[in-house]
Homo-oligomer: A and B are copies of this chain.
Amino acid sequence: MVNRSAQDIRRLNRFEVLRRFHASSGPRTRQDLASETALSIATVSNLTSELIGEGVLVEVGQAGSGGGRPRALLALNADRGTLIGIDVAETSVRTELFDLALGEMAVDERPVASGDVTPEQIVDLVESGVDTVHMAAGSLRSRVLGVGISLPGLVERKRGVSTYSPYWAWRDVPMRDRLAERLGLPVHLDNPLKASALAELWFGAGREVDNLVVVMLRSGVGAGLALDGTLYRGATNSAGEWGHSCLVFEGRRCRCGNLGCVEAYVGTAGIAETLRSLAPGDPLLAEADALAAPLLTGLAARAAKGDPTAVEVIRRTAAYLGAALGNLVNILNPEALVLGDQVAAHLGERLLVETKAALAGHALAQPLRAVTLRLSSLPHDAVSRGAAALAFEGFLNDREVFGPVSRTRAAKARAEGHGDGRRPGRSR
């Protein structure tokens, strides 16, 4: 039961090379890439030739090399096409259009109605978002190489199905095919945990470390895992459901139905519950709606003025969060632990400082020394950026298999669903 074919490795190495171009803005020689990735010059030359052949990389000039022969400078070919990343969240749909160098060209954000939402309504919102960013950027839809879409809940990536969405009580909705048909574009589906981890790998802390956990704190709570340098998905793409790990045995009822889940303490509803237990009549509770932003901004503002209730809510939230992060540190021994999304963006430094203290009371000394806890450098659009990276990876995987690989193996890889993008009408 090996999952590491020569082709898998080539893919991982290809992404690793491409990520170097986002790590800093300048063009790079093959020698730079070899030293940055620890791959051999031969491997880098092979990979870059393929990427130049696909039009993904271009030569943009020559670097002198101290008297030796000049070396070609390579860069991402921004003009090769565009990518779209979409974050479908409980309360909004955020659509971003990127060039192939992952430079942002346009963004659109539109609210999702509260209450039950049908798949058709989401498809409509996505289509409007895609139309809007194209109009805003003056770019053509025919230039789109791929659309990455993050859907809340659990997603079965290979089949392109939303297997479970807690917000809208969806079960087994074949969203990829519906979206691909409506948009007329190749669609790659996953969930926000995977998208956040990809965003850190392509744009954030994952460029510097091999083992990273990015913690999403919004109304839903979960963790994206990048282990040994690559996105970890688990057996059925549902790894990272740390929000539904048990922190308080026989504790609060979580909306998943179980007791004591992390999400019931550090998600926005959990934070509101902590406030309610301290001050049942607090005016912020009246304001708290599904969006939760008023609750979080209210708590942050009052804590900054020293309001003891707000300070205590944040302290207790940090106590729970520190213990729950300690579990990730002890189980996974990562180098970086990144706090992302709404809760982290609004409660920021105060939450970080208190959480660090709480973490120290739960993580073992050795893995604690090995890890850095930080706020995400991508607090506002990690998921949509990660979704665009998903589309980029999907575009590369969907090209006919690169390099010296037999047709049989390529066919087998496709049959196994490694290339998971679905272009409407395309026979597989």
The interface on chain A, measured as residues whose beta carbon lies within 8 A of the other chain's beta carbons, has a size of 73
Quick check: A16 and B2 within 8 Å, CB to CB?
yes
* Cβ-based interface call for A92 (8 A): no
Binds B, one of A63-71, A233-241, A277-285, A302-310: A233-241
Quick check: B43 and A245 within 8 Å, CB to CB?
no
| Closest-CB distance, A116 to chain B (whole angstroms) | 20
> Which residue of B is nearest A38, CB measured?
B2
| Closest-CB distance, A209 to chain B (whole angstroms) | 6
| Closest-CB distance, A95 to chain B (whole angstroms) | 27
Chain B residue contacts of A333, Cβ below 8 A: 233-241
A260 and B362 alpha carbons, distance in the complex (Å):
9
* Cβ-based interface call for A62 (8 A): no
Chain B residue contacts of A331, Cβ below 8 A: 223, 225, 239-242, 245, 328, 331
* Cβ-based interface call for A375 (8 A): no
* Chain A contacts with B in 206-228, Cβ cutoff 8 A: 207-211, 223, 225, 227-228
Residue among A232, A240, A249 with max Cβ neighbours from chain B (10 Å): A249
Quick check: B406 and A238 within 8 Å, CB to CB?
no
Partner of A366, one of B163, B228, B247: B163
Quick check: A409 and B228 within 8 Å, CB to CB?
no
| Closest-CB distance, A393 to chain B (whole angstroms) | 16
| Closest-CB distance, A195 to chain B (whole angstroms) | 17
A256 and B327 alpha carbons, distance in the complex (Å):
14
A164 and B370 alpha carbons, distance in the complex (Å):
15
* Cβ-based interface call for A290 (8 A): no
Binds B, one of A3-11, A77-85, A291-299, A377-385: A3-11
Binds B, one of A48-56, A130-138, A318-326: A318-326
Chain B residue contacts of A209, Cβ below 8 A: 1, 235
Quick check: B207 and A1 within 8 Å, CB to CB?
yes
Chain B residue contacts of A328, Cβ below 8 A: 331
| Closest-CB distance, A20 to chain B (whole angstroms) | 10
* Cβ-based interface call for A39 (8 A): yes
* Cβ-based interface call for A37 (8 A): yes
A323 and B367 alpha carbons, distance in the complex (Å):
23
A360 and B37 alpha carbons, distance in the complex (Å):
43
Binary CB contact string for chain A from 305 to 349 against chain B (1 if under 8 A, 0 otherwise): 000000000000000100110111011111100000000000000
What 10 pairs across the A-B complex have the smallest Cβ distances?
A234-B333, A245-B327, A241-B330, A239-B333, A248-B249, A236-B370, A235-B335, A2-B37, A246-B323, A235-B370
* 19 pairs from A and B in contact (CB 8 Å cutoff): A1-B210, A4-B16, A9-B9, A163-B366, A234-B334, A234-B367, A235-B335, A235-B370, A238-B370, A239-B367, A241-B331, A241-B333, A242-B327, A245-B330, A245-B331, A248-B249, A249-B260, A260-B323, A331-B331
